[in-house]
């Protein structure tokens, strides 16, 4: 193992091009000693701030806190990237150790009485400090962070809160690892011709590559990667195989044995409720929503139920249409959850005269990546320049310089697009380094944002292009929208940089960016056939645009049911049996038996693999109300790339981070706050 001093230097001294990490120099064994030194170093910095003999001021307290822990931030950034995108048994073992250790570390900081006294003194006289709007937001964030972490509690209560947070960190790590284990362990190998009935070539290629990667040459693998399981459920003519695969997919985290998450969920919910009450909140949802745009559980549930009532009516109509297709085939079974995608695809092909299989040859991964960059160029004047001679954290990773129109380096971007067994499912954006302008202890004046996207698209067979579904393409645009939020950030302080905004505002830049995928000029230019290079025919393009709200009831019911269950868990006094509460809630709202939650409780990683989206899954819909209204600002000009509107969007949404209250910054862009009507229209649910 590398010595502690060397390990710390290897992990934290980023001497790659433009200050990139030295990914290939870091060994798994470096992380533990690097964490030990980084934690000790940060603790010493915190003590120095807390024990400073000088009276507290913004510079010696708040700015000092903002730049403290640089080494720990670097170790953490590399480690959590590895844990999510390229994990192994050694990393997972360390994750189970590090998660509670980090919780203990931050609990100690938040409960440091001398440190809080300094922050509290500044907060009490904030109006006399002559602070800028951004500085006031930064001070408020620090003060509220301390209070919501127990700084005002009695010592005994603080100790209990620290223990709760430590245990929650351990439970969250185990939850995510259990889901990944279930995803890795299940596979269905196919080889007979009748087992492949209905599967288009792109899917068979992906399944062949997946089997080959598992050492099963000549076979076809159905895995629980969304980029394989969803098209398999969409196209497979074998109902028995669809049922088998679907049941495995929805049973992740609920299979009994060591990877079963139900006990973890129960304990997590109990601890979250106790935590909220210690901090003076009636429920955990009230605690989490205190600093959001929604503000209260009642406001969240009001929006969700308004949408639910329209969505479930639409879903019932859709189910009747699918049942008619089943009857027309001479079959008499009801629409089961493993039937929906298959018959919905048949109905779309019938109603709009195109299928996903017809569309997919026009959606090459490489071209959609180019489209993401092109839209950013048209809107914000930036361009992506490939970094071809630099190695990332995995051979799949692509690296880019993001430059302004005048050539100035604005950010670095990494894209990691293919599914693999070492990567958790889903798609996400994160950062190795956030933009800011503060002077650091090493003399650097600010830092360049280093942002990455992780996706799980099916890897193509050797020599063939990666082809995306329309949903995959939207995912790529969505995550790049998050990346732009980080890369276009233009603030002074790290804590309000980029995505450092309230949870129900953070999805606005990403969901808004999805709109530009289906702008006709973009599809005409970048949706070209992988064999002929011909653009998507106008007739097919028209059908794609006409079908955008097809299956809207199903899609909205899937999402909204998950969000309502999340809120139900976190507004109850107690939850003795989470699965019973889930069933009770779904029955109460009239969940169709033909549809399941997008994320059933035992694999609901947004909510239980950490606290990020706990009592916050609704935020995708809250942000969707904003994004539908925001894109309407462009539509009202008649130009999806209107320069003046794009500049206002950049200044007030993508660049401002959390330096301004989200309501105020949205109103600065749009002139007012939106109502849900534009979102309902976008989803095809407007009356």
- Please name which of 511, 621, 608 lies closest in space to residue 564, comparing C-alpha atoms: 621
Written as six digits, the tokens of 53 are 């003999």
Which residues make Cβ contacts (< 8 Å) with residue 339, sequence separation at least 6?
239, 242, 322, 326, 333, 594
Angle value at C-alpha 162, between 158 and 165, nearest 5 degrees: 135
Which residues make Cβ contacts (< 8 Å) with residue 260, sequence separation at least 6?
178, 253, 254, 602
Dist. CA 424–CA 224, nearest whole Å:
11
CB 604, CB 562: distance < 8 Å: yes
Q: Residue 549 to residues 314, 523, 625, 679: CA-CA distances in angstroms? A: 11, 18, 16, 12
φ, ψ for residue 385, nearest 5 deg? -120, 120
Q: Residue 135 to residues 69, 131, 516: CA-CA distances in angstroms? A: 20, 6, 34
Angle value at C-alpha 181, between 427 and 242, nearest 5 degrees: 75
Please state, as a whole number, how many other Cβ atoms lie within 10 Å of the Cβ of residue 455. 22
Q: Which of 479, 507, 514, 568 is catalytic?
A: 479
Angle value at C-alpha 404, between 398 and 406, nearest 5 degrees: 130
Following DSSP, what letter does each residue of 384-423 receive, concatenated? Answer: EEE-TT---SSTT-EEEEEEETTS-EEEEEEEEEE--TTS
Written as six digits, the tokens of 383 are 């361009």
**Residue 576 is a catalytic residue:** no
Which residues make Cβ contacts (< 8 Å) with residue 350, sequence separation at least 6?
none
CB 155, CB 113: distance < 8 Å: no
Dist. CA 506–CA 104, nearest whole Å:
27
Catalytic residues: 479
């Amino acid at each position: 193992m590398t010595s502690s001093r060397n390990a710390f230097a290897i992990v934290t001294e980023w001497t790659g091009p433009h200050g990139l990490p030295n990914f290939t120099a870091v060994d798994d064994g470096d992380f533990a000693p690097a964490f030990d030194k980084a934690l000790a170093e940060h603790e010493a910095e915190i003590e120095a701030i807390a024990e400073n003999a000088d009276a507290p001021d913004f510079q010696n307290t708040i700015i000092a806190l903002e730049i403290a822990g640089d080494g720990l931030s670097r170790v953490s950034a590399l480690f959590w990237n590895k844990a999510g995108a390229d994990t192994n048994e050694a990393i997972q073992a360390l994750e189970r150790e590090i998660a509670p250790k980090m919780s203990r570390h931050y609990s100690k900081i938040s409960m440091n009485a001398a440190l809080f006294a300094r922050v509290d003194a500044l907060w009490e006289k904030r109006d006399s400090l002559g602070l800028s709007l951004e500085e006031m937001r930064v001070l408020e964030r620090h003060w509220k962070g301390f209070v919501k972490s127990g700084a005002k509690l009695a010592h005994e209560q603080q100790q209990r809160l620290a223990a709760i947070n430590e245990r929650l960190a351990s439970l969250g790590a185990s939850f995510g690892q259990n889901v990944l284990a279930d995803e890795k362990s299940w596979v269905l190998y196919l080889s007979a011709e009748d087992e492949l009935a209905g599967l288009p070539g792109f899917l068979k290629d992906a399944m062949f590559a997946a089997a080959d990667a598992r050492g099963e040459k000549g076979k076809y693998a159905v895995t629980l990667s969304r980029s394989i399981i969803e098209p398999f459920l969409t196209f497979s003519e074998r109902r028995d195989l669809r049922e088998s695969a679907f049941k495995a997919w929805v049973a992740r985290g609920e299979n009994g044995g060591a990877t079963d998450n139900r006990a973890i969920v129960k304990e997590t919910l109990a601890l979250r409720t106790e935590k909220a009450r210690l901090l003076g909140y009636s429920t955990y949802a009230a605690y989490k929503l205190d600093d959001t745009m929604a503000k209260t559980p009642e406001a969240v549930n009001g929006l969700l139920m308004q949408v639910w009532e329209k969505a479930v009516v639409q879903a019932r109509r859709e189910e009747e249409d699918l049942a008619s297709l089943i009857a027309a085939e001479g079959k008499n079974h009801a629409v089961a959850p493993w039937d929906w995608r298959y018959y919905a695809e048949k109905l779309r092909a019938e109603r709009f005269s195109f299928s996903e299989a017809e569309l997919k040859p026009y959606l090459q991964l490489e071209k959609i990546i180019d489209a993401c960059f092109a839209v950013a160029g048209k809107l914000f004047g930036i361009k992506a320049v490939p970094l071809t001679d630099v190695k990332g954290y995995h051979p799949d990773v692509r690296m880019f310089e993001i430059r302004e129109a005048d050539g100035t380096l604005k950010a670095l971007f990494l894209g990691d697009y293919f599914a693999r067994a070492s990567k958790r499912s889903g798609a996400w954006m994160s950062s190795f380094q956030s933009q800011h302008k503060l002077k650091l202890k090493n003399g650097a004046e600010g830092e360049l944002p280093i942002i990455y996207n992780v996706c799980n698209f099916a890897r193509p067979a050797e020599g063939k292009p990666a082809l995306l579904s329309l949903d995959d393409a939207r995912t790529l645009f969505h995550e790049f929208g998050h990346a732009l939020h980080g890369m276009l950030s233009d603030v002074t302080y790290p804590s309000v940089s980029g995505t450092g905004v309230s949870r129900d505002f953070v999805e606005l830049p990403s969901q808004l960016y999805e709109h530009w995928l289906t702008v006709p000029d973009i599809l005409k230019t970048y949706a070209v056939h992988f064999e002929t290079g011909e653009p998507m025919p106008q007739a097919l393009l028209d059908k794609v645009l006409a079908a955008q709200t097809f299956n809207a009831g199903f899609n909205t019911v899937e999402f909204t049911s998950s969000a309502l269950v999340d809120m139900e868990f976190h507004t109850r006094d107690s939850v003795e049996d989470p699965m019973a509460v889930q069933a009770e809630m779904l029955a109460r709202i009239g969940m169709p038996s033909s549809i399941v939650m997008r994320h059933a409780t035992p694999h609901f990683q947004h909510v239980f693999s950490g606290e990020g989206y706990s009592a916050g899954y609704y935020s995708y819909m809250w942000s969707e109300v904003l994004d539908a209204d925001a894109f309407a600002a462009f539509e009202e000009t008649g130009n999806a790339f209107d320069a003046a509107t794009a500049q206002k969007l950049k200044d007030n949404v993508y660049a401002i981070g959390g330096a301004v209250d989200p309501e105020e910054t949205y109103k600065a862009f749009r002139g007012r706050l939106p109502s849900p009507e534009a979102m309902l229209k976008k989803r095809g649910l407007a009356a």
